[in-house]
Amino acid sequence: MFTIGDFPHVRGVLRENEDIGKKSFFGVGGPAQFFFIPEDMNDLVFFLRELPEDMPITILGSMSNVLIRSGGIRGVVIVLGEWFSKIFVENSVLEVGAAVSCSKLSTVAMNNELTGFEFLMGIPGTIGGAIKMNAGCYEATISSVLVECEGISSSGQIKWLKSSDIGFAYRTSKIPDDLIITRAWFRGIPNAGYSIPKKVNEITAKRRNNQPLSQRSCGSAFKNPNGKKAWELIEAAGCRGMRLGGAMISEKHCNFIVNDNNATADDIENLGELVIQKVLENSGIRLEWEILRLGNKRSAEQ
């Protein structure tokens, strides 16, 4: 059993039994056994190199696409802080910290009259997680503008990956699970030939009109199967508006699960599994979760 005394002495924030569930977009879930926000890159490198070898590590961003299960997360949860939230622009290249929000990157690119980033205004999350899952919307993905990224392994080794070597695919990449993305470099396109603010405003309006932004959710619950739209399959299976406990399939967009009435993490996950079963029975297609489900369910003893 690990204790706080097993950790190296760091300059950043290190706490025990951190209530991270309430900080997630769903607002539910259990605590992190240990929680670390590094002061800077050197602090993170030192922490990882001095950490006990068998200590489980989970890296989280804004938790916009994550369901923290009710039993919480064992080991240490690492969240990158202010030092990793900077953007530098030189000509058409943007150097971006992994903790920068997707919407901030979109705004900075727009202010520098660089196109290719407008779609990021529709993605609530941070750059590190967006790269790992090849986040995208409205027919665009982050891999289309990424040049290179920097990461650090769980053993504290710094690595650089070119976009062409990452193996991007739909909502996934071949970035190792133990690699923490720390920085990335993107190339924008100058002289767009159209109004970038107008396009950003159109994306913002489309998202506002079609997604349940006033309710707690984590975006699209399920990936689109090949040639199909997940929401259409969910609709056809009669799941729009379905409820389980305090969780509900959104009436506005049925590929969204919302925390409608003090849902638990179990409510949300069980409702999602019920939708998967209903869609499979109706169409023969098994939906895959797009939301990351992390941690353990609460045991009977908890």
The CATH number that applies at residue 9 is 3.30.43.10
In a shared domain, residues 70 and 94: no
In a shared domain, residues 89 and 186: yes
Q: Is 293 part of the annotated catalytic residue set?
A: no
State the first-to-last Cα distance of the chain, in angstroms, to the nearest integer.
Answer: 17
Strands 292-294 and 66-68: parallel
In a shared domain, residues 257 and 175: no
State how far the Cα of 66 lies from the Cα of 69, in Å rounded to an integer: 9
In a shared domain, residues 186 and 111: yes
* Among 190, 225, 256, residue at a domain's last position: 190
Which pLDDT belongs to residue 299?
A: 61
The pTM assigned to this predicted structure is 0.93
Asked whether residue 195 is domain-assigned, the answer is no
Asked whether residue 19 is domain-assigned, the answer is yes
In a shared domain, residues 107 and 10: no
171, 187, 207, 240: which one is catalytic?
A: 171
18, 118, 148, 290: which one is catalytic?
A: 290
SS3 276: helix
163, 217, 220, 250: which one is catalytic?
A: 220
Asked whether residue 301 is domain-assigned, the answer is no
In a shared domain, residues 115 and 159: yes
Q: What is the mean pLDDT of each run of 10 residues along the chain (302 residues)?
A: 91 97 96 98 97 93 96 97 97 97 97 95 93 91 96 95 95 92 96 90 93 95 95 98 98 97 97 98 97 84 46
Structure token digits, residue 114: 């660089």
In a shared domain, residues 91 and 180: yes
Asked whether residue 207 is domain-assigned, the answer is no
Of 6, 11, 54, 69, give the one whose Cα is nearest residue 34.
6
In a shared domain, residues 51 and 97: no
Which pLDDT belongs to residue 246?
A: 98
Q: Is 171 part of the annotated catalytic residue set?
A: yes
In a shared domain, residues 69 and 131: no
Asked whether residue 202 is domain-assigned, the answer is no
Domain span at 68: 4-82
* Among 40, 56, 82, residue at a domain's last position: 82
Asked whether residue 279 is domain-assigned, the answer is yes
Strands 243-244 and 87-90: unpaired
Asked whether residue 199 is domain-assigned, the answer is no
* Among 60, 82, 104, residue at a domain's last position: 82
Q: Is 290 part of the annotated catalytic residue set?
A: yes
Which pLDDT belongs to residue 191?
A: 84
In a shared domain, residues 50 and 93: no
In a shared domain, residues 93 and 181: yes
In a shared domain, residues 121 and 186: yes
State how far the Cα of 130 lies from the Cα of 181, in Å rounded to an integer: 10
Question: How many domains does the chain divide into?
Answer: 3
β strands within the chain, DSSP E: 13-18, 32-37, 57-60, 66-68, 73-79, 87-90, 93-97, 114-115, 136-137, 140-141, 146-152, 158-162, 180-187, 189-190, 216-220, 243-244, 247-249, 256-259, 292-294
CA 136 to chain centre: 11
Asked whether residue 302 is domain-assigned, the answer is no
